[in-house]
């Protein structure tokens, strides 16, 4: 996304484009190392199945 071969109008425009890419990376792209799941899916599964220990 950052390499779109265009001139960015402002830093804010680059920041928004970067946030969009990070969102795509974490919610849409399947990662081989995560069993072809998205990082968001892995995190949701982990936090849902993890319990807190009582001390």
User: Region 21-26: what's the mean pLDDT?
Assistant: 92
The 3-state DSSP composition of the chain as helix, strand, coil percent (nearest 5) reads 55, 5, 40
The Cα-based distances of 38 to 5, 10, 12, 48 in angstroms read 28, 30, 27, 15
Sequence-distant (≥ 6) Cβ neighbours of residue 34 within 8 angstroms: 41, 42
Tell me the percentage of the chain whose pLDDT exceeds 70.
82
> How far apart (Å, rounded) are the C-alpha atoms in residues 22 and 39?
11
pLDDT of residue 4: 64
For residue 33, is pLDDT > 60?
yes
User: Region 10-19: what's the mean pLDDT?
Assistant: 92
Sequence-distant (≥ 6) Cβ neighbours of residue 32 within 8 angstroms: none
User: Region 29-43: what's the mean pLDDT?
Assistant: 93
pTM over 0.85: no
Sequence ranges of the domains in the chain: 11-49
For residue 54, is pLDDT > 80?
no
């Amino acid at each position: 996304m950052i390499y779109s071969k265009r001139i960015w109008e402002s830093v804010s425009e680059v920041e928004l484009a970067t946030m969009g890419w990070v969102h795509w990376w974490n919610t849409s792209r399947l990662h081989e190392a995560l069993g072809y799941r998205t990082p968001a899916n892995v995190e949701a599964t982990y936090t849902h199945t993890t319990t807190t220990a009582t001390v």
